[in-house]
Structure 1
Amino acid sequence: MLIPYLPSSMNKLVGIDSRVEKVISHIGMGLNDVRYIGICGMGGIGKTTVARIVYEAIQSEFEVTYFLANVREICEKNGIVQAQKELIGHINGSLSNFNNEYDGSRIIQASLCHKKVLLVLDDINIDKQLKNLAEMKDWFGSGSRIIITTRDMQLLKIHDAHEIYKIEELAESEAFDLFSLKAFKQQKPAEEYLKLSRQVVKYCAGLPLALEVLGSYLYGRPIEDWNSALEKLKSVPHLDIYDASLLTINKNGSLEMHDLLKEMGKYIVNQESPNDPSKRSRLRSYQDINFALTQNKGTEATQSIVLYIKGIYQEKYRVRWRDLTFSNICQLKLLILDGVKAPILSYIPCSLRVLNWRRLSNGNSALCGSLL
């Protein structure tokens, strides 16, 4: 009974107030309808933190409240029934004896259908979890609110969320403040660390988890360690900040990849053959592609080549690549050339499946397609 009135353990978090206010504005406190409220965004962006603070701010207005954390992890380790048992155990104050999802759903509905409920389902990743924990609005009494955090906005749309709040990356000033608090325990770094701090903040691209992990890692270290760490990050990124969830879909429906994920991908491919690009599965820099094409090195490793050249570099590379030949690359499946000017393209391997060559030498044509 006292828990809703205890002070929050998450005070003074950088950039959190405005995000919490936006979510609360969608809650519709005082209204008697039942609402699903979605909070979505990439891993490490702060979904759980925002949901937790919103939960603590409004929980005193409800009869039954529960924050079911790490639903994805619970279900992956022990199954959906375990998640149901945790929820029901909190509601009824005792363990329930059931062994299947159907019975669990029936008990949840029977326990909550006449109560004003605040339920947070944290880190949902598949539709099955929502169906078995909070499928229908009539499972809950009037005025209930179910807050769902997820990396997949489509799940929220399928489940007919009343409002969906997408958490954006921190603004540059917010990111700098958060990093400074973790790395220096104050809002501004010492002058000699200022330039290095800006480099780290730029690298983290507004992702709170990355800023916290790297800030804590660098705390108390001498400046020479900072220089070493920054160099290392360019080739061996800090593993704690990565998640494949760093893929998002923008307003235009295009897939976007966070810079941190791009760096990890580059690192993985480079490790396939650190000293010989022709033995890597993917080539994307001019230097590596030029090496593979001009050194007459036969390879069975390279499966994709992607190169974007713009501006003043186009003429330079056109001169060097008078004749593009791929006769030595026998497993090539994907070829994307953008801005590459070369008059002859010969010896296309039969393995090629996707070809996209934009901005050819005549400046106004493109060749693209899927080859079967």
Structure 2
Amino acid sequence: MADLILGAVVGELLAAVIEATKQAINFKSSLDNLKTTLIAIQPFFDEIEKLNKLLDARKEETGMFIDRLKEGKNLVLKCSTIKSWNVYKKIRYNKKLTDLDSSLLRFFQIDVQALMARDSKKILVGVNDNDQKLDRILSILKNGVGGSRYSNGVSGSCTVPGVPHFIVGLDVPLQELKVMLLKDEVSVVVLSAPGGCGKTTLAKMLGRDDEIKAIYGANIFFVNVSKTPNIKVMVQKLFQHQGCHQLPEFQSDDDAINQLENFLEQKGHDRILLVLDDVWPGSESLIQDFKFQIPGYKILVTSRSELTGFDSTYRLKLLNDQDAITLFRHLAFPQDGTSNVPDDLVNEVVKGCGGFPLALTVVARSLYKKHEVIWRSTVKKWSEGQSIFDSNTELLKRLQTSLDALEEMPIVKECYVDLGSFPEDQRIPASALKDMWVEMYNLDEDGMDTLVNLIELSNRNLANLVLTRKDSSEVDDYCNEQFVTQHDLLRELAIYQSNRAPIEQRTRLIMDISGNNHPRGWIEQISQPIHAHLLSISTDETFSSSCYDLQVPEVKILILNFRTGNFTLPQFLERMDRLKVLIITNYGFSPAELNDFLLLGYLSNLKRIRLEHVSIPSLSTSVLELRNLRKISLIMCEIAKAFENCTMELPHLWPNLEHMDIDCCYDLFELPAGLCNLIHLRKLNITYCHELRALPEGFGNLTNLEVLRLHSCTKLYDLPESIGSLQKLRFLDMSDCLRLGKLPTRMDKLCGLRTLHMRGCRGLEELPTSVMDLKQLKDVICDEETAYLWEPYESYLVNLKINVLKEDINLNWLHNFHP
């Protein structure tokens, strides 16, 4: 009766969730996710019952799971009692609901699937023996002892190839991929990862999995797809695999597809799985050609890209540290996994491979049976800046194919190489990339082109795009709160591309400096001009920034990455009269003091400056006059000193400033009044400044302001009445301003306002009646607790759309605090 009890308990939990969804609106998002999971997994427990009946077996394994379901029911009932004002309990219990959902999925994906697979094997054990014998007979009849080549030149088979005898790290992905593939509503699954990550191996494991074979039987077809696929040849191989000695002649690709569809339809109710291995970007139409409306027919695609337009994508992750070491030791020391090479040295080599199975395989084979001194020499070369690709042409060749696919997209390829300008293991702000690419490649200012390029790189698994806020993709800035991460080996590949030309001919000069160990050839090169357009210098805690100088007269983009508490700007800044973009980032624990800050005054053509995690000295000198400056970004900076005793008017220092970002600056208590005189300012973003209490009354002087973000300024208690003077303001974001108690009575004067974000403004109890005159207002983005405030005014605002977003408990903003 264990399974009947299990089914009843699942039903009880589902009923409790459905009822709680109606009452506990604070947990609606989490409860909806939990309901979806329960509905999805419930039918599979019926399959367990069927298998148990066939085996006359009892299930004791599910007892612990029944207890977990009962605990879950109690948790759901408890959530119904949490009040909306109790923020801390809401966060805690949302977390508990998320954990419950994850544990259900985990149990289903691993334990339940394992139970079903085990029982299926027991049932099919006799059948499998007969199938194997029959397969051998059919193979001899079809191909002969030595194989066969048909007269039309088609050779080979669509049988699932064998898998390596030693595999690590793919057991969990196999179970997760099966769950995704076996969903009734899914017809195509794309298995995606960079080259050399094990996609094909995982696809082979799936095709040879006992549970999958029990479902699809002999109807699993494995087809390799080339960069320039030939549909007619692919279809002929499928016919050949089914034992057709007289292969049909196809008049065209369409004819081949049509005949294949008719052939597969003749299989009646048999389920069919087609694996298309190594599909290249741009071949989405080929997959569409093989999609047939046949019940039980599914396609699994492996690709280095996340192909768009299909049901589901499974992104295969790299190996974790333990699995990477296990694989490497097996390949480097095949006898028993042990050797005389010290463990710390082995671990250093493994770390340099970054979890890439291909890299681990290639490097392990290159060091197999080598003396310890060769191992140490390899690590030493890597630490001195020599690329892993210099001595591993096979690895380079395999990964290079991903870049070759970008030949028809030269700007996207250049953008990929630019990612190597930032330190490894760090998030790269999309807004910083936008600043670079607007000047380098003439991309648009709103960030759409930048985001499109990043999505393309992410889809091709050359980078990972991270969104830290669900409602951040507003029309005016597509890069707002978007970040990019990149695997170390892919970053090294980007740097390798930059370094292939002689140093004096490179368009980028990317230097990682440890201590004062300058890159090879440094001393010889600093005495002559370098013609690069982009210069990136990354240093560590022990670097002395006063010990180098360069001649870089043509550099337009300068990126300085460091980790020290005290950083001296390089002297060569005073000779960089072509510099347009300056990005200075401190990745240390505390804001860094910048020495020789006045050198910035020499950058007469500077258009954009981004300072992150630094302490900015006073701006009280005219030496910092930057007449061409268009944008300044201050991220996690100490800025109080910058505006103290400032005798110079900011409009005189930065007369053409149009865009200002102030993010996570914890010592910003009040916006300096002098900023209100920057009359050309069009965009002002003040976000996550939790100590900001007020805006100056002179704020209304910013008459050209079009975009104002005040997101997560949690202590901001009101907005000045003068804000009504901002008649060009079209976008206002005051979301998560928790203490904002009222809006200006002159809201009706914001005649250009089209979009208003006010999610999380829990202090607002009413809106001024003047909002009924905001005739241009089209979108209000809010939550359930603030949506009701607009009900009295909706009849006056006929074009207004109230967008109620689910609660978004998201701590991804913590990315700003560098480790």
What is the aligned counterpart of 1:249 among 464, 480, 487?
A: 464
Structure-2 residue corresponding to 1:135: 291
Preserved contact between residue 305 and residue 461 of structure 2 (Cα < 8 Å): no
Structure-1 residue corresponding to 2:272: 117
Q: Distance in 1 between matches of 2:552 and 2:161?
A: 66
Q: Distance in 2 between matches of 1:2 and 1:254?
A: 52
Matched, 1:2 2:135: yes
Structure-2 residue corresponding to 1:17: 171
Q: Distance in 2 between matches of 1:6 and 1:250?
A: 34
Alignment of 1:298-317 (within 5 A): 298-300=552-554, 302-310=555-563, 313-315=564-566, 317=567
Alignment of 1:147-166 (within 5 A): 147-155=300-308, 158-161=309-312, 164-166=313-315
Q: Distance in 2 between matches of 1:249 and 1:86?
A: 37
Please list every run of 5 or more consecutive structure 2 residues that lacks an aligned counterpart in the other structure: 1-133, 140-158, 403-459, 468-481, 504-519, 587-591, 618-636, 640-658, 663-819
Matched, 1:264 2:493: yes
Matched, 1:231 2:484: no
Q: Distance in 2 between matches of 1:18 and 1:264?
A: 29
Q: Distance in 2 between matches of 1:228 and 1:130?
A: 47
Alignment of 1:269-348 (within 5 A): 269-271=498-500, 272-273=502-503, 275=521, 276=525, 278-285=530-537, 294-295=549-550, 297-300=551-554, 302-310=555-563, 313-315=564-566, 317-318=567-568, 321=570, 324-327=573-576, 330=578, 332=579, 334-339=581-586, 341=594, 342-348=597-603
Q: Distance in 2 between matches of 1:62 and 1:35?
A: 18
What is the aligned counterpart of 2:250 among 93, 98, 103?
A: 98
Give the TM-score of the pair, scaled to structure 2.
0.38
1:303 CA displacement: 4.7
Number of matched residues?
Answer: 346
1:175 CA displacement: 0.6
CA-to-aligned-CA distance 1:250-273 (integer Å, 9 cap, x gap): 453643322112223334434531
Q: Distance in 2 between matches of 1:335 and 1:75?
A: 41
Structure 2 CA distance for partners of 1:246 and 1:291, relative to 1, 3 Å: farther
Preserved contact between residue 161 and residue 204 of structure 2 (Cα < 8 Å): no
Preserved contact between residue 269 and residue 282 of structure 1 (Cα < 8 Å): no
What is the aligned counterpart of 1:211 among 346, 360, 368?
A: 360
Please list every run of 5 or more consecutive structure 1 residues that lacks an aligned counterpart in the other structure: none
Structure-2 residue corresponding to 1:183: 332
Preserved contact between residue 553 and residue 576 of structure 2 (Cα < 8 Å): no
Higher relative contact order (CA 8 A, sep 6+): 1
Alignment of 1:161-176 (within 5 A): 161=312, 164-176=313-325
Q: Distance in 2 between matches of 1:337 and 1:187?
A: 49
Tell me which amino acid in the other structure corresponds to 2:337: K
Identity %: 22
Structure-2 residue corresponding to 1:240: 394
Matched, 1:146 2:398: no
1:214 CA displacement: 0.6
CA-to-aligned-CA distance 1:16-56 (integer Å, 9 cap, x gap): 3232232223343xx87763233222221111101001102
Q: Distance in 1 between matches of 2:227 and 2:247?
A: 18
- Secondary structure in 2 aligned to 1:118? strand
Deviating more after overlay: 204-213 vs 360-369: 360-369
Q: Distance in 2 between matches of 1:96 and 1:334?
A: 62
1:191 CA displacement: 4.2
Aligned CA RMSD, in angstroms, stands at: 3.7
Structure 2 CA distance for partners of 1:321 and 1:16, relative to 1, 3 Å: closer
Q: Distance in 2 between matches of 1:292 and 1:87?
A: 67
Structure 2 CA distance for partners of 1:32 and 1:250, relative to 1, 3 Å: closer
1:176 CA displacement: 0.4
Q: Distance in 2 between matches of 1:182 and 1:170?
A: 15
Larger radius of gyration: 2
Structure-1 residue corresponding to 2:187: 35
What is the aligned counterpart of 2:201 among 40, 49, 65?
A: 49
- Secondary structure in 2 aligned to 1:12? coil
Deviating more after overlay: 357-366 vs 285-294: 285-294
1:102 CA displacement: 2.9
Tell me which amino acid in the other structure corresponds to 2:272: V
Tell me which amino acid in the other structure corresponds to 1:336: I
Tell me which amino acid in the other structure corresponds to 2:172: S
Deviating more after overlay: 59-68 vs 215-224: 59-68
Q: Distance in 1 between matches of 2:538 and 2:261?
A: 60
Give the TM-score of the pair, scaled to structure 1.
0.77
